[in-house]
A = this chain, B = another copy of it.
Protein backbone atom coordinates (compact mmCIF):
# COMPACT_ATOMS: atom_id res chain seq x y z
CA UNK A 1 0.00 0.00 0.00
CA UNK A 2 2.93 2.37 0.65
CA UNK A 3 5.79 3.12 -1.70
CA UNK A 4 6.54 -0.54 -2.40
CA UNK A 5 6.72 0.22 -6.10
CA UNK A 6 10.29 -1.03 -6.07
CA UNK A 7 10.04 -4.62 -4.94
CA UNK A 8 10.75 -6.61 -8.09
CA UNK A 9 8.34 -8.37 -10.35
CA UNK A 10 8.26 -11.63 -8.40
CA UNK A 11 7.51 -9.94 -5.08
CA UNK A 12 4.90 -7.76 -6.73
CA UNK A 13 3.10 -10.75 -8.21
CA UNK A 14 3.24 -12.50 -4.88
CA UNK A 15 1.68 -9.52 -3.19
CA UNK A 16 -1.03 -9.33 -5.84
CA UNK A 17 -1.85 -12.99 -5.30
CA UNK A 18 -1.96 -12.61 -1.53
CA UNK A 19 -4.26 -9.61 -1.74
CA UNK A 20 -6.59 -11.29 -4.21
CA UNK A 21 -6.62 -14.51 -2.21
CA UNK A 22 -7.48 -12.63 0.96
CA UNK A 23 -10.45 -11.02 -0.75
CA UNK A 24 -11.67 -14.28 -2.26
CA UNK A 25 -11.24 -16.27 0.96
CA UNK A 26 -13.01 -13.59 2.97
CA UNK A 27 -15.90 -13.50 0.54
CA UNK A 28 -16.41 -17.22 -0.04
CA UNK A 29 -14.67 -19.09 2.75
CA UNK A 30 -11.95 -21.66 2.23
CA UNK A 31 -13.91 -24.35 0.46
CA UNK A 32 -15.98 -21.88 -1.51
CA UNK A 33 -12.95 -20.04 -2.87
CA UNK A 34 -11.63 -21.17 -6.21
CA UNK A 35 -8.07 -20.88 -7.33
CA UNK A 36 -9.24 -19.72 -10.75
CA UNK A 37 -11.01 -16.82 -9.12
CA UNK A 38 -7.92 -15.93 -7.12
CA UNK A 39 -5.80 -15.97 -10.25
CA UNK A 40 -8.32 -13.89 -12.18
CA UNK A 41 -8.67 -11.29 -9.42
CA UNK A 42 -4.91 -11.09 -9.05
CA UNK A 43 -4.62 -10.59 -12.83
CA UNK A 44 -2.19 -13.46 -12.86
CA UNK A 45 -2.08 -16.86 -14.49
CA UNK A 46 -2.89 -19.90 -12.43
CA UNK A 47 0.56 -21.25 -13.15
CA UNK A 48 2.02 -18.26 -11.36
CA UNK A 49 -0.16 -18.85 -8.35
CA UNK A 50 1.14 -22.39 -8.08
CA UNK A 51 4.70 -21.16 -8.55
CA UNK A 52 4.45 -19.03 -5.43
CA UNK A 53 2.24 -21.26 -3.30
CA UNK A 54 2.33 -25.01 -3.56
CA UNK A 55 -1.22 -25.60 -2.36
CA UNK A 56 -4.56 -24.03 -1.75
CA UNK A 57 -3.88 -24.88 1.89
CA UNK A 58 -0.54 -23.15 1.96
CA UNK A 59 -1.97 -20.13 0.20
CA UNK A 60 -4.61 -19.93 2.90
CA UNK A 61 -2.23 -20.15 5.82
CA UNK A 62 0.09 -17.62 4.22
CA UNK A 63 -2.79 -15.22 3.69
CA UNK A 64 -3.79 -15.39 7.33
CA UNK A 65 -0.33 -15.15 8.81
CA UNK A 66 0.48 -12.26 6.49
CA UNK A 67 -2.56 -10.43 7.86
CA UNK A 68 -1.84 -11.28 11.49
CA UNK A 69 0.78 -8.58 11.93
CA UNK A 70 -1.88 -5.88 12.03
CA UNK A 71 -2.48 -6.54 15.71
CA UNK A 72 0.77 -4.87 16.59
CA UNK A 73 -0.77 -1.48 15.87
CA UNK A 74 -3.47 -2.20 18.41
CA UNK A 75 -1.08 -3.21 21.17
CA UNK A 76 0.99 -0.09 20.58
CA UNK A 77 -2.17 2.00 20.82
CA UNK A 78 -2.96 0.41 24.19
CA UNK A 79 0.38 1.20 25.70
CA UNK A 80 0.47 4.71 24.27
CA UNK A 81 -2.97 5.55 25.60
CA UNK A 82 -2.71 4.05 29.05
CA UNK A 83 0.87 4.70 30.08
CA UNK A 84 0.30 8.43 29.71
CA UNK A 85 -2.96 8.24 31.66
CA UNK A 86 -3.74 10.47 34.58
CA UNK A 87 -7.55 10.28 34.57
CA UNK A 88 -8.40 6.55 34.30
CA UNK A 89 -12.08 7.09 33.54
CA UNK A 90 -11.37 9.29 30.59
CA UNK A 91 -8.39 7.38 29.21
CA UNK A 92 -10.04 3.99 29.61
CA UNK A 93 -12.99 5.38 27.71
CA UNK A 94 -10.73 6.46 24.88
CA UNK A 95 -9.06 3.05 24.87
CA UNK A 96 -12.41 1.30 24.82
CA UNK A 97 -13.48 3.35 21.81
CA UNK A 98 -10.23 2.47 20.09
CA UNK A 99 -10.89 -1.23 20.64
CA UNK A 100 -14.43 -1.03 19.35
CA UNK A 101 -13.38 0.92 16.32
CA UNK A 102 -10.60 -1.49 15.50
CA UNK A 103 -12.31 -4.81 16.15
CA UNK A 104 -15.76 -4.11 14.73
CA UNK A 105 -14.53 -3.17 11.27
CA UNK A 106 -16.25 -5.35 8.68
CA UNK A 107 -13.05 -6.81 7.27
CA UNK A 108 -11.74 -7.67 10.72
CA UNK A 109 -15.00 -9.43 11.53
CA UNK A 110 -14.96 -11.35 8.26
CA UNK A 111 -11.41 -12.46 8.96
CA UNK A 112 -12.49 -13.58 12.40
CA UNK A 113 -15.34 -15.56 10.93
CA UNK A 114 -13.03 -17.16 8.43
CA UNK A 115 -10.51 -18.28 11.03
CA UNK A 116 -13.21 -19.60 13.32
CA UNK A 117 -14.87 -21.45 10.49
CA UNK A 118 -11.62 -23.19 9.54
CA UNK A 119 -10.32 -23.77 13.04
CA UNK A 120 -10.90 -27.49 12.59
CA UNK A 121 -9.23 -27.79 9.21
CA UNK A 122 -6.33 -25.47 10.15
CA UNK A 123 -5.74 -25.84 13.88
CA UNK A 124 -2.36 -24.11 13.69
CA UNK A 125 -3.86 -21.02 12.10
CA UNK A 126 -6.48 -20.75 14.81
CA UNK A 127 -4.07 -21.32 17.65
CA UNK A 128 -1.52 -18.89 16.25
CA UNK A 129 -4.20 -16.24 15.83
CA UNK A 130 -5.37 -16.75 19.39
CA UNK A 131 -1.92 -16.67 20.92
CA UNK A 132 -0.31 -13.96 18.80
CA UNK A 133 -3.36 -11.75 18.48
CA UNK A 134 -5.80 -12.32 21.27
CA UNK A 135 -3.42 -13.16 24.07
CA UNK A 136 -0.82 -10.56 23.22
CA UNK A 137 -3.44 -7.82 23.39
CA UNK A 138 -4.49 -9.16 26.79
CA UNK A 139 -0.91 -9.30 28.00
CA UNK A 140 -0.24 -5.74 26.96
CA UNK A 141 -3.41 -4.50 28.56
CA UNK A 142 -2.65 -6.44 31.75
CA UNK A 143 0.81 -4.97 32.13
CA UNK A 144 -0.57 -1.47 31.60
CA UNK A 145 -3.18 -2.16 34.27
CA UNK A 146 -0.43 -3.33 36.60
CA UNK A 147 1.44 -0.05 36.12
CA UNK A 148 -1.76 1.93 36.73
CA UNK A 149 -2.30 -0.06 39.92
CA UNK A 150 1.26 0.69 40.98
CA UNK A 151 0.48 4.41 40.59
CA UNK A 152 -2.65 3.97 42.71
CA UNK A 153 -5.06 4.63 39.84
CA UNK A 154 -6.54 1.12 39.84
CA UNK A 155 -7.12 -1.34 42.64
CA UNK A 156 -6.57 -4.96 41.62
CA UNK A 157 -4.71 -8.11 42.62
CA UNK A 158 -4.63 -9.90 39.27
CA UNK A 159 -4.05 -7.53 36.35
CA UNK A 160 -4.52 -10.27 33.79
CA UNK A 161 -7.92 -11.13 35.18
CA UNK A 162 -8.89 -7.46 35.18
CA UNK A 163 -7.88 -7.19 31.54
CA UNK A 164 -9.98 -10.23 30.68
CA UNK A 165 -13.02 -8.76 32.43
CA UNK A 166 -12.52 -5.38 30.77
CA UNK A 167 -12.45 -6.94 27.33
CA UNK A 168 -15.36 -9.20 28.10
CA UNK A 169 -17.67 -6.45 29.27
CA UNK A 170 -16.70 -4.26 26.35
CA UNK A 171 -16.74 -6.72 23.48
CA UNK A 172 -18.97 -9.70 24.23
CA UNK A 173 -22.20 -8.11 23.07
CA UNK A 174 -21.18 -6.20 19.96
CA UNK A 175 -18.78 -8.84 18.67
CA UNK A 176 -21.35 -11.57 19.01
CA UNK A 177 -24.06 -9.52 17.42
CA UNK A 178 -21.93 -8.76 14.40
CA UNK A 179 -20.64 -12.32 14.17
CA UNK A 180 -24.14 -13.72 13.91
CA UNK A 181 -25.83 -10.90 12.02
CA UNK A 182 -23.61 -10.67 9.02
CA UNK A 183 -24.10 -7.24 7.54
CA UNK A 184 -24.92 -5.24 10.64
CA UNK A 185 -23.03 -2.31 12.08
CA UNK A 186 -23.15 0.11 14.98
CA UNK A 187 -23.71 3.84 14.94
CA UNK A 188 -21.02 5.96 16.53
CA UNK A 189 -23.33 6.98 19.35
CA UNK A 190 -24.01 3.35 20.22
CA UNK A 191 -20.29 2.64 20.34
CA UNK A 192 -19.85 5.60 22.68
CA UNK A 193 -22.55 4.23 24.94
CA UNK A 194 -21.07 0.71 24.93
CA UNK A 195 -17.62 2.01 25.79
CA UNK A 196 -18.89 4.30 28.50
CA UNK A 197 -21.00 1.60 30.16
CA UNK A 198 -18.18 -0.94 30.15
CA UNK A 199 -15.69 1.52 31.62
CA UNK A 200 -18.13 2.61 34.34
CA UNK A 201 -18.77 -0.99 35.42
CA UNK A 202 -15.07 -1.81 35.22
CA UNK A 203 -14.17 1.11 37.45
CA UNK A 204 -16.77 0.07 40.01
CA UNK A 205 -15.16 -3.38 40.12
CA UNK A 206 -11.51 -2.41 39.79
CA UNK A 207 -11.30 1.34 40.51
Which residue numbers of A lie inside 8 Å of B, CB to CB?
29, 31-32, 110, 113, 115-117, 119-120, 123, 126-127, 129-130, 134, 158, 161-162, 164-165, 167-173, 176-177, 179-183, 197-198, 201-202, 204-206
Contact = CB atoms under 8 A, between A and B. Distances in A.
Given A165-B198, A202-B205, A116 B173 contact: no
Given A113-B117, A168-B169, A134 B180 contact: yes
Given A164-B173, A169-B168, A169-B169, A182 B29 contact: no
Q: Is the interface of A mostly helix, strand, loop or mixed?
A: helix
Contacts of A172: 164, 167-168, 171-172
Contact of A116 (B116, B161, B169, B170): B116
A181 B130 contact: yes
22 contacts: A29-B29, A113-B116, A113-B119, A116-B117, A116-B179, A116-B180, A120-B183, A126-B182, A130-B176, A130-B180, A161-B197, A164-B173, A165-B168, A165-B169, A168-B168, A168-B172, A168-B198, A169-B169, A201-B205, A202-B205, A204-B206, A205-B205
Nearest to A119: B182
Contact of A183 (B123, B161, B165, B179): B123
A67 to B, nearest CB: 15
Nearest to A193: B161
The quantity of this chain's copies bound in the complex is: 2
Contacts of A127: 180-181
Nearest to A168: B172
Given A130-B176, A168-B168, A168-B173, 6 more contacts: A31-B31, A113-B116, A113-B119, A113-B120, A168-B198, A169-B169
Contacts of A179: 116, 119, 126
